[in-house]
Amino acid sequence: MNPASYFYAGTRCFRQLPVLAALAVSAPVFADNWPQWRGPAGTGVSAEKNLPLHWGTNENVRWRVPLPERGNSTPIAWGKRVFLTQAAGNRRTLMCFNRADGKLLWQSGVTYPEKESTHETNPLCSASPVADGQRVIASFASAGLYCYDFDGNELWHRDLGRQAHIWGNGASPIIHGDLCILNFGPGERTFLIAVNKKTGETVWQVDEPGGDSGQEKPGEKPNWVGSWSTPIVIKVNGREELIMTWPRRATAYDPKTGKELWTCGGLNPLVYTSPLYSDGTIVAMGGFMGMSLAVRADGDGDVTQTRRLWHHPKTKQRIGSGVIHHGHIYILNDPGVAECFELKSGKLVWEERLSGRGPDNSSWSSMILADGRLYVINHSGDTFVLKASPKFELLATNSLGETDNASLAVSEGDIFIRTHKALWCLRENGEKR
């Protein structure tokens, strides 16, 4: 059976299985679910302590499931289920797999017949879904924001309008309390929106001016501006702040109302990474031209001059996001160079080029921190495991030999890797294949 046939056959066959209702009811709530992009807090930090250090195509593989087409989205995991967004032709879908064996349980979605602009390296459906144990929400960009129960039944959907940028989109929805929050952009229409996660009704919306599709216009240079960032919610001194990185600035909002609390300048017009947070400090990093900054949270108004700790006007391009651990920032930049900075000063501690077994050492992947280790994958499907330390130490290089533009997800001792060919589940003492 070819991949496309597998894709649609899975939809027909598994949606009707009666066991699904039982699975949804009996699935316990695990402390180490990976419910959204970059994990429970959206910062790439995991409490896992039993993840494998080494793996390969025949080592520590629990299962491997072929996927119908390429994709850049990262899976999420809740209880016995693994969720992944996937585009195939004009279909935009959410796939649900059994964690134990990778079996496709159901697949729900929508047909979107219109052509959407994106880049060939950024296939459609690049946003990760988000789950809370009862529902899972996926952004299909121009095709809409969709909410399903854990059996794949649609609960609601919203048409948020057309999303158009020559490089596509990638921001993922998050859930905070009763709200689902999404950066709907980049493009000429860009806004931050919060909807009721139970009904899909708009609670608040903040429009972001100055957006552009990136298309060339007669007699004008293309205007390359936009944010692909997924926001995070932090709590500092008893106040919740929704942190968003926009072109040229980092901004905090009240997550309940959308009211702007503070803003800090110092980013470039293109922002790909998500904000980082630790101990009252936010780190924001730009993409092309690589501006970055650190700012103390809990401010009011424009805090650029009063609360910004440091600013780097130009560094290497970053697409994947980093992590913060014990006062240090760790990140793998686009060219494939791992870096460590001091959180308080921004001082570079070390940088090392990571070379894997494949031909392409560049990376768009975001790091994961678990048990003092850093996990990050490059475009060739080589995952590097580093010690999270101000002294560089490479612990392992693990190759799957398949192109990868996504990031890793970890939960219950499993590592999930989405490549352009398959969804992998890796586990210590996993099945030999």
Give 35-75 pLDDT, tens digit per residue: 999 999 999 999 999 999 999 999 999 999 999 999 999 99
Task: Report which of 184, 185, 182, 166 is spatially closest to residue 174, judged by C-alpha positions.
Answer: 182
Nearest CA among 164, 158, 165, 153 for reference residue 194: 158
Query: How is 48-110 classified by DSSP, letter by letter?
Result: -----S--BTTBSEEEEEE-SS---PPPEEETTEEEEEEEETTEEEEEEEETTT--EEEEEEE
Among 36, 38, 15, 42, smallest CA distance to 149 is for 15
pTM for this entry:
0.91
Residue 345: φ, ψ to 5°: -110, -20
Q: How many CB atoms lie within 10 A of CB 114?
A: 8
Q: In this predicted structure, what is the pLDDT of residue 81?
A: 98
What is the helix (H) or strand (E) element at residue 6, kind and residue range? helix 3-14
pLDDT digits (tens, 9 = 90+) for 5-44: 333 334 433 344 333 333 333 333 334 899 999 999 999 9
Per-residue pLDDT tens for 209-245? 888 888 888 888 888 899 999 999 999 999 999 999 9
The whole-angstrom separation of Cα 266 and Cα 289 is 12
Cα 151 from Cα 96, distance rounded (Å): 9
Does domain 3-215+223-427 bear CATH number 3.40.50.300?
A: no
Tens of pLDDT along 270-327?
999 999 999 999 999 998 878 999 999 999 999 999 999 999 999 888 999 999 999 9
Altogether, the residues listed in the chain come to a count of 433
* Whole-number Å distance between alpha carbons of 397 and 345: 30
Residue 101 to residues 4, 61, 80, 105, 423, Cα–Cα distance (Å): 21, 11, 10, 11, 12
Phi-psi region of 280 (alpha: psi -120 to 50; beta: other; left: phi over 0): left
